[in-house]
Structure 1
């Protein structure tokens, strides 16, 4: 069967998620925070396995205008839920509403739940309650400008949960955003890579996964693996493909450093958990001591922002020192994400390009300083 699929995305990352979907071989359309495409059961498995920057992969069960609760009930009931939900399915309903006449989320959830129950009761000839002791199907009703979209989540835990994070710092960067930061650069696996504010090592680890073309979902499970209409052979095929495409022999020069020795230890533990302990090295170091031995490297980092008033002066001083250290390395490309609007001035150089991104709910800019190209580099 072909399904209408949605890869959800953080604001600002839609074009990267869309590029990933197309690289998997699926035509797609880009909307705010979601990328829609069509695919079969294998597409569900492959997109969960491979999408580095998407939040989740959902099946769109139905979409329609709904101005009244009656309309919401009847149109939800008209959807062939029995194609997805077995008789013993556990199907909690969550919801959200924006700029819609039906703004009571709890009422919308209850109505959708009731409509699905009515549909399944009729199909399965049930007169008693549904046990709901079987596989999990998370249903969501999303109302935006009076259009109701009903989806079923195929991922389970968000796709940022790769399964390697043993520990983290107090302001962890989502793995999906870390991967996007790397994918927005000119880095290739042959070039040195550094993150001088590595925190729990997420950017460096994501760079290593990208460098060796390791599927980010390879070491985790997805909620749709328990659904009987997606055969286990489909998941076996998706994992076999991931294994075949991985480039485990690709040498990498990736270093993460941090002033805090505790974060360095956490980074090392996370890298080993990801199976990359021998590929990524971490060390305790101040950014002021950055002194690479190679040319044409790439720095990607998410340094402290100084969001708290007491931290601001120290952070701004650190940005100045960072500029003094990094600007002279003119063959290195530097990519820094921060919410500090004075970053270019403090760093001492205007960015080649900047891009608006959101780190959670914090609006940031991704400042890009392109270094000289390596010889015979036609990119």
Structure 2
């Protein structure tokens, strides 16, 4: 089986989390800003898409080279083995981006790459003069950084955060991939109580349940590469069989999501039902500051309001103070809060054990970690 150079894209700040996931799948990898690079066969493509909880996408690196002229871009793109990935029927749109490079025109670079691929395919499929592009889509990206061109093929299709269980959401939903990363950055184990005090549409509790029962995040969706001529259906069947074999649907879990908004609780329940976790994850409408528990050694992971909108700041500051008072006596619990509010520790009344810089979409945040004593 042919080996490919694979690239798992990752949000800034969680590359190490994605790299650990890749290694757990059995692949050695190299970590760079926003990406993890590793080698793998066709089965690795299927397994990566199905299992990576925190990556955005899985791509194949078709080629990488330096180019400062359009002629260099054309000739080196044409020299790549495109016939391995594209046949006479495939649709192959080309997107692009360029940063700090001589070839700064994205539209021109896209057009050159497209033309080069077509010319290469014409030499391989000699009876084909015109490509209809009505078959399965093979999305290609040309990315140029400091005159180094990287050409990739996206194997995922819709981003990996689209698990397939979200039937509803609030105004600012947390991406499933980030929710999974927040959990994997904690000390939570499946035999420990888990709580999200601002659960919204239920993303964090649902992701915790998937982790706790070792359910692959991609079990409930399809991927664009499943329709490609060179990726045998048997490979996907094998990968999905592994997913089914490794899932532990009977693993008992203690997971609770709470939210002050009753409508969001109903949405969270619907999402959990769609994920097949309605009996595993529990939701309750309540104020976060009303939370009490007699349980020991639990973990709280939450994405509280940030107070960035006009008029919300004072309300959120008071909420953080209330949270600090509510959770002050939970000495055996570890508490994790993500927010863009730089004064969170001051209002919460306690200095975090550790802080980690993360991005929630385009919002720069800190992940405040309070470890149990």
TM-score (norm 2): 0.99
State the Cα distance separating 1:87 from its structure 2 match.
1.0
Which digits, 9 at most, give the CA deviation of each residue in 1:173-213, with x for residues without a partner? 00000000000000001010000000110000000000000
State the aligned residue count. 372
Q: Which residue of 2 aligns with 1:288?
A: 289
Q: Which residue of 2 aligns with 1:256?
A: 257
1:364 aligns with 2:365: yes
State the Cα distance separating 1:127 from its structure 2 match.
5.2
Q: Which residue of 2 aligns with 1:97?
A: 98
Q: Is the 8 A contact 2:88 2:128 kept in 1?
A: no
Moved over 3 A (4+): none
What is the alpha-carbon root mean square deviation over aligned residues? 0.7
Which digits, 9 at most, give the CA deviation of each residue in 1:236-262, with x for residues without a partner? 110111111111111000000000001
State the Cα distance separating 1:13 from its structure 2 match.
0.8
Q: Which residue of 2 aligns with 1:377?
A: none
Partner SS state of residue 237, structure 1: helix
Superposed, which structure 2 residues align to 1:120-139 within 5 Å? 120-126=121-127, 128-139=129-140
State the Cα distance separating 1:42 from its structure 2 match.
0.3
Structure 2 CA distance for aligned equivalents of residues 231 and 112 of structure 1: 27
Partner SS state of residue 312, structure 2: helix
Superposed, which structure 2 residues align to 1:1-379 within 5 Å? 1-126=2-127, 128-372=129-373
Structure 1 CA distance for aligned equivalents of residues 73 and 129 of structure 2: 24
Partner SS state of residue 117, structure 2: helix
Structure 2 CA distance for aligned equivalents of residues 74 and 128 of structure 1: 20
Gaps of 5+ in 2: none
Gaps of 5+ in 1: 373-379
Structure 2 CA distance for aligned equivalents of residues 63 and 6 of structure 1: 12
Structure 2 CA distance for aligned equivalents of residues 167 and 311 of structure 1: 25
Change (3 A) 1:127 1:223: closer
Structure 2 CA distance for aligned equivalents of residues 119 and 89 of structure 1: 14
Partner SS state of residue 310, structure 1: coil
Which digits, 9 at most, give the CA deviation of each residue in 1:128-187, with x for residues without a partner? 320101111000000011000000000011000000000100001000000000000000
Higher mean alpha-carbon deviation, 184-193 vs 127-136, is at: 127-136
State the Cα distance separating 1:371 from its structure 2 match.
1.0
State the Cα distance separating 1:281 from its structure 2 match.
0.6
Structure 2 CA distance for aligned equivalents of residues 127 and 63 of structure 1: 27
State the Cα distance separating 1:126 from its structure 2 match.
4.0
Partner SS state of residue 166, structure 1: coil
State the Cα distance separating 1:327 from its structure 2 match.
1.6
Partner SS state of residue 151, structure 2: strand
Structure 2 CA distance for aligned equivalents of residues 261 and 220 of structure 1: 28
State the Cα distance separating 1:309 from its structure 2 match.
2.2
TM-score (norm 1): 0.97
